[in-house]
Amino acid sequence: MTASKKLIVVIPTYDEAENVGRMTEAIFALNVPGLNLLIVDDLSPDGTGRIAEELATKHPGQMHVMHREGPRGLGFAYKAGFRWALEQDADYVVQMDCDFSHSPKYIPQFLAYIEDYDVVVGSRYVQGGKTDEVWGVGRWLLSWWANSIYTRLILGVKTMDTTAGFKCWRRETLAGIDLNRIRSQGYVFQVEMAYVTERLGYRVLEIPIYFPDRQVGESKMTMKVKIDAALRVWEVLRRHRHLHPSDRLTA
């Protein structure tokens, strides 16, 4: 990334009071020129939004907090955050979780590769990628199968980590995808974005990351959520199977 470019890191939060401070400092400690941070909080009951506001006063002009009202959801939060980033004239947008499963240390690598691709994806399931050591073989196999086999074969995509949530977008890619097309929440939001990206013919690069489990804060992940996500992949297929590169939204 050249010095004159603007990067906005978008982090959605829901009950991340224990992580948001450490994550903010880790992001700014990268000292990436032109880096801005947007926290998109869905009125977290644990006060994450208020803590983020306090942090923003320490990084004037570089950190913004959005407080969403109405129904909460990862998809709603990301769409609002991406739209804001585009309005702020970001050249590049990074999306990531607040719980340190996505290490900020990969951001400079993303920025090096984004010069030649339309989106760079931090992937657990390409060579060199890795999940937390505490995962047993069964958990790893189920996740690998769901991402790299089940979802990938239904949608016919090349992406191996179809639910990856750590990505660096070029602004043209996010604009061309047309966020109005994207309807899903949770894991399926990532799947739908990945599918539309490939249907529209954008150049995707997956780079390996190590994905540790969240250390603090509560997990909202249940088997019901996983099964629901698996079934919704079919909806994503039906909704977007007819898309072609000529359907990119042009300004």
Instruction: For residues 49 and 1, give the distance between their C-alpha atoms in angstroms, rounded to a whole number.
Output: 30
Task: Between 97 and 198, name the residue whose CB sits nearer to Mg ion.
Answer: 97
Q: At what angle do helices 20-28 and 48-58 cross, to 10 degrees?
A: 30
Sign of CA dihedral 45, 86, 125, 133: negative
Residue 214 binds to ligand GTP (criterion: CB under 6 A): yes
String of contacts with ligand GTP for each residue 163-192, x by CB under 6 A: ------------------------------
Q: Which amino acid is at 176?
A: G
Candidates 42, 99, 118, 161; binder of Mg ion (CB under 5 A) is: 99
Q: Could you tell which of Mg ion, ligand GTP, none binds residue 112, using a CB distance below 5 to 8 A set by kind?
A: none
**Rounded Cα–Cα distance for residues 155 and 82 (Å):** 24
Closest approach of ligand GTP to the CB of residue 118, in Å: 23
Binding flag, residue 198, ligand GTP (CB under 6 A): no
DSSP annotation of 68 reads -
Q: Is 143 in the site for ligand GTP (CB under 6 A)?
A: no
CB of 146 to ligand GTP, least distance (A): 12
Cα separation of 34 and 3, whole Å?
A: 7
Which residues in 80-109 contact ligand GTP (CB under 6 A)? 97-99, 101
Contacting range for ligand GTP; rule: CB under 6 A; set: 10-18, 131-139, 167-175, 197-205:
10-18
List alpha helices for 2-121, DSSP H.
20-28, 48-58, 74-87, 107-113
**Binds ligand GTP by CB under 6 A, chosen from 1, 9, 10, 16:** 16
Joined together, the tokens standing for residue 103 give 């290490």
Q: Which of 220, 163, 233 is nearest to 194 (CA)?
A: 163
Which residue type occupies 73? G
Q: Which does 72 bind (CB under 5 to 8 A by kind): ligand GTP, Mg ion, none?
A: ligand GTP
Near ligand GTP by CB under 6 A, which window of 67-75, 139-147, 229-237, 243-251?
67-75
Beta-bridge mates of residue 130: 210
Least distance to ligand GTP, CB of residue 95, Å: 9
SS (H, E, C) 221-243: CCHHHHHHHHHHHHHHHHHHCCC
For the segment 101-140, give every residue that binds Mg ion (CB under 5 A): 101
**Interface residues toward ligand GTP, by CB under 6 A:** 12-14, 16, 40-42, 72-74, 77, 97-99, 101, 214, 219-221
Binding site for Mg ion (CB under 5 A): 97, 99, 101, 214
